[in-house]
Structure 1
Amino acid sequence: MMDAKNVSKRELIKAQLRSRGTSLSQIGRDLGLKPSTVSSVLAGARSLNVEHAIASALNTKPETLWPERYPQ
């Protein structure tokens, strides 16, 4: 079963990327990865490289986007 909060967060991140003129697919291309690999990070998979690329595209830090992944 999908967690509605996580789905909303993923959609918000994708919308923010679109508003900045990019997408998960573009980030994947830039990193030489399949778009599904990048999408899986939004679904909960870990990839520091992808997390940092998404955060950079949004001019923020990965720990701001995914505080649960970066305990203090």
Structure 2
Amino acid sequence: MQSRHIDLPRHELIKARLRIAGANMAQIGRELGVSHTTISSVSQGYSRSRRVEEAIAAKLSVGPESVWPERYENKDEDGAPMK
């Protein structure tokens, strides 16, 4: 089991970058059909969701591995563990 990496300062940075991009977590939640708290939990590191990570990263015009490099280290381009 992978340990969680809780990073509240990064979460605040993500929220600020989303605001600059004209988006917010509630908007992403509505687009995905999930609550804004789900989006926030993923951003903070309390939970994982590839779909949510990709949606946040898309709003920031980057890949999810740029936002959370530790979540994607040692993974191939499909997200599978590299041997």
TM-score normalised according to structure 1 size: 0.89
1:55-66 counterparts in 2 under 5 A? 55-66=57-68
Residues 2-58 of structure 1 deviation map (CA, whole Å, 9 limit, x = unaligned): x9x922111010000001111011000000111111111012110000000000000
Partners in 2 of 1:16 and 1:43 — Cα distance? 14
Partners in 2 of 1:53 and 1:69 — Cα distance? 15
- Displacement over 6 Å in runs of 4+: none
Count matched residues. Answer: 69
The answer to which structure has the higher helix fraction is 1
- Kindly indicate whether residue 55 of structure 2 is the aligned counterpart of residue 53 of structure 1: yes
TM-score normalised according to structure 2 size: 0.78
Partners in 2 of 1:68 and 1:19 — Cα distance? 24
Structure 2: gaps of 5 or more residues: 75-83
Largest Rg, 1 or 2: 2
Backbone CA RMSD of aligned residues: 1.6
Structure 1: gaps of 5 or more residues: none
Partners in 2 of 1:20 and 1:57 — Cα distance? 7
